[in-house]
Structure 1
Amino acid sequence: MTLLIGTRGSALALAQAGDIANLITRVTGTATRLVPVTTHGDISRESLASLGGTGVFASALREFMLRGECDLVVHSLKDLPTAAYPGLSIGAIPARADARDALCARDGLTLDTLPAGARVGTGSPRRAAQVRERRPDIEVLDIRGNVDTRLGFVSSGEMDAVVLAAAGLGRLGRTAAITEYFELDVWPGAPAQGALGIEVRTESLGGDPASASLRAALAAIEDTGAHAAAVAERAVLARLEAGCAAPIGAHAEVRESSLFLRAAVYAPDGSERLILDRESALPVADLHVAAFALGRALAEDLLAAGADRIAPLN
């Protein structure tokens, strides 16, 4: 049997899906084949915010799988809406890549050493708010395009720097362009950033013998800690009823005996930030249930502290 893996056709999406395909084959011996799908988000040049957020990339892939044209889909989990999608489920979350954001600047500059009035590009309202909070004297510009296009804004001199996900740069072999990493304790990334979500038809998770190879592959690549962290971070987003493009950062990690979660909400202009933590003991039973509860509880803390006043959440 050959498992068909649906993916966007961008270089980064193909690299991510290729990593999963190779992992499945290596650990289970099951053959795989990538099936690229073009999404509306890949074609449009409008800003992500005007398109309705990064969830625009997921819809075509999901419909493709529901038609039975692939067995699983690989998503950048930070781009996947938190609401359940009828007929589909997250079957596995593999080990997470670097969850940090990274600055790619000219001349080896960092955010603190960029000159006043420097032009910094990002397609993320959260990253824009974080840059503005730390450097209100910098001009932040909305950009689109793949990783190489964005890096090209810097090499061409059109911009002084861009902010990108370290995970994507790593998957494409572009880490040499990084001039500064932003540490998660002071600069949390998007919920589930660096994690890949493997989505499947819910029916395939049942006992049907025809799906046995798929279930075995999902079990083999699952990382329990990465899955729990992603659940907690995405639960914050879901409770705040915020989209993928909202100015919200979150990062969770499984520690020796606890699950720790930090989340932040930013004013779009960088004028204000609210950042809170919560931690819970690791449960004996279902870690995912506990992670979801932790995320919901921290979101309630954020709302009680005025998160909906600081940032547009809907």
Structure 2
Amino acid sequence: MSTPIRLGTRRSALAQAQSGHVAAALEKFSGRRVELVPITSEGDTNRASLSEIGGQGIFATRLREALFAGECDFLVHSLKDLPTAVPEGLVIAATPKREDPRDVVLTRDGTPLHELRSGSTVGTGSPRRIAQVHRRAPKAEVVDIRGNVDSRLARVASGELDAVILAAAGLSRLGAETPLRREELGLAEWPTAPGQGSLAVETRADAPEELLAALAGLDDTDTRLAITVERAILQGLDAGCQAPMAAHAVVEGSSIRVRTVVYAADGGRRIGLDVTEDLNGEYIRRNGSGNGADAADGADPMHAARELGFTVARRLLDQGAAGLVSREQSS
């Protein structure tokens, strides 16, 4: 029997559910057993607000240390929590097909977010969501919360909070069942974090070719294109993954459409762009690669996607976005 492939994962229910989905897909593709290796990250033990502890890589650092130390063969991350700079010696080997990228509001009675009464409490620890709540529900009070999905849902069910905002993808991957009422927030009015709904499968650059090839089989080109644009915007803004900004890209035929917004922390101001660009989509779907494979004419679609993201970031900065976000060199 061949040696199992070891997948390093955080211990949270959501992380293990995400890793379980990837493990099952990899087993089917490779014919080898995948074994989950639970790892405790600082983000799992430090209960301070993400905005206070910075958020940058807090869930990824310990996992990557384990990967470098040989405790596991590859990792699965929530892409929206992953810093844009990939450490030397590591590679994002696959971005599986993206789940629903929207945010969801959960309440006891189904009251839409914008209709919440004065003094209603909305739980979220995301600076981006906080700014958006201030805009959508200015009479509501935002409560900075941490904790797993079940604990957040319980705080609404018990009456401690009137609403919480969660990622639709996380609820879907957990298969979370709750009597609470859901309000899906449309991306046009409520864009979400770069990479939301996407997973990053990461391994060492010097991993065995057999493993790299197996992981590459999980890659979805349209997803990789979209998140490449989104993360390049974040990197170009130099703002860090806890910045009050949103970016969502989607491949539409032979083009890619990008919606992005940068918010003031209190939601009072926002700067947004809605851009559609041709990225030679027919070639992208046939030959696109996250490993820099060149097109016949010498063009690299992923390079083009990064350049589009950087261009959008420059346009946002030209319009004053630097005054709305706290720029971080570590992004």
Shorter-chain TM-score category?
A: over 0.9
Give a deviation string over 1:172-200, Cα, whole Å, max 9, x none. Answer: 11265452111111111100000000011
* Alpha-carbon separation, structure 1, partners of 2:132 and 2:50: 18
Is 1:218 aligned with 2:215?
Answer: yes
Give a deviation string over 1:6-43, Cα, whole Å, max 9, x none. Answer: 01000000000000000111222121000010011100
Return 270-279 or 168-177, whichever deviates more. 168-177
Shift of 1:136: 1.1
Give a deviation string over 1:131-177, Cα, whole Å, max 9, x none. Answer: 10111111011000010111111011110000011100111112654
Contact persistence 1:136–1:270 (CA under 8 A) = no
Shift of 1:220: 1.4
Is 1:295 aligned with 2:315?
Answer: no
Is 1:256 aligned with 2:253?
Answer: yes
Contact persistence 1:257–1:282 (CA under 8 A) = yes
Shift of 1:312: 2.7
Is 1:312 aligned with 2:318?
Answer: no
Is 1:134 aligned with 2:148?
Answer: no
Is 1:265 aligned with 2:235?
Answer: no
Give a deviation string over 1:107-136, Cα, whole Å, max 9, x none. Answer: 122102322211000010000000101111
Name which of 81, 93, 96 aligns with 1:94.
96
* Alpha-carbon separation, structure 1, partners of 2:325 and 2:43: 25
> Which residue of structure 2 aligns with residue 207 of structure 1?
none
Is 1:152 aligned with 2:154?
Answer: yes
Matched to 1:237, the amino acid is L
Shift of 1:54: 4.9
Matched to 2:197, the amino acid is G
* Alpha-carbon separation, structure 2, partners of 1:272 and 1:67: 45
Give a deviation string over 1:229-281, Cα, whole Å, max 9, x none. Answer: 11100000001111111001000011101111111001111111111022221
> Which residue of structure 1 aligns with residue 167 of structure 2?
165
Alignment CA distance shift 1:6-1:60 (3 Å): same
Name which of 239, 244, 248 aligns with 1:247.
244
Contact persistence 1:28–1:216 (CA under 8 A) = no
* Alpha-carbon separation, structure 1, partners of 2:272 and 2:190: 10
Contact persistence 1:120–1:160 (CA under 8 A) = yes
* Alpha-carbon separation, structure 2, partners of 1:112 and 1:68: 49
Q: What SS does the aligned partner of 2:119 have?
A: coil
Is 1:191 aligned with 2:205?
Answer: no
> Which residue of structure 1 aligns with residue 206 of structure 2?
203
* Alpha-carbon separation, structure 1, partners of 2:22 and 2:301: 24
Is 1:235 aligned with 2:232?
Answer: yes
Contact persistence 1:8–1:37 (CA under 8 A) = yes
Shift of 1:215: 1.9
Q: What SS does the aligned partner of 2:57 have?
A: helix
Name which of 104, 117, 120 aligns with 1:118.
120
Unaligned regions of 5+ residues in structure 2, if any?
284-294
> Which residue of structure 1 aligns with residue 107 of structure 2?
105
* Alpha-carbon separation, structure 1, partners of 2:100 and 2:51: 25
> Which residue of structure 1 aligns with residue 287 of structure 2?
none
Unaligned regions of 5+ residues in structure 1, if any?
205-210
Q: What SS does the aligned partner of 2:9 have?
A: strand
Q: What SS does the aligned partner of 2:85 have?
A: coil
Shift of 1:213: 3.0
Shift of 1:50: 1.4
Contact persistence 1:109–1:179 (CA under 8 A) = no
Give the aligned CA root-mean-square deviation in angstroms.
1.2
Contact persistence 1:279–1:294 (CA under 8 A) = no
Contact persistence 2:116–2:139 (CA under 8 A) = no
Matched to 1:250, the amino acid is A
Q: Percent identity among equivalent residues?
A: 50
Shift of 1:214: 1.0
Contact persistence 1:250–1:264 (CA under 8 A) = yes
* Alpha-carbon separation, structure 1, partners of 2:236 and 2:114: 34
Contact persistence 2:101–2:197 (CA under 8 A) = yes
Shift of 1:313: 3.4
User: What TM-score do you get using the length of structure 2 for normalisation?
Assistant: 0.90
Q: What SS does the aligned partner of 2:47 have?
A: coil
Matched to 1:300, the amino acid is R
Instruction: Map 1:12-161; keep pairs closer than 5 Å.
Output: 12-161=14-163
Matched to 2:318, the amino acid is A
* Alpha-carbon separation, structure 1, partners of 2:266 and 2:106: 22
Q: Which has the higher helix share?
A: 1
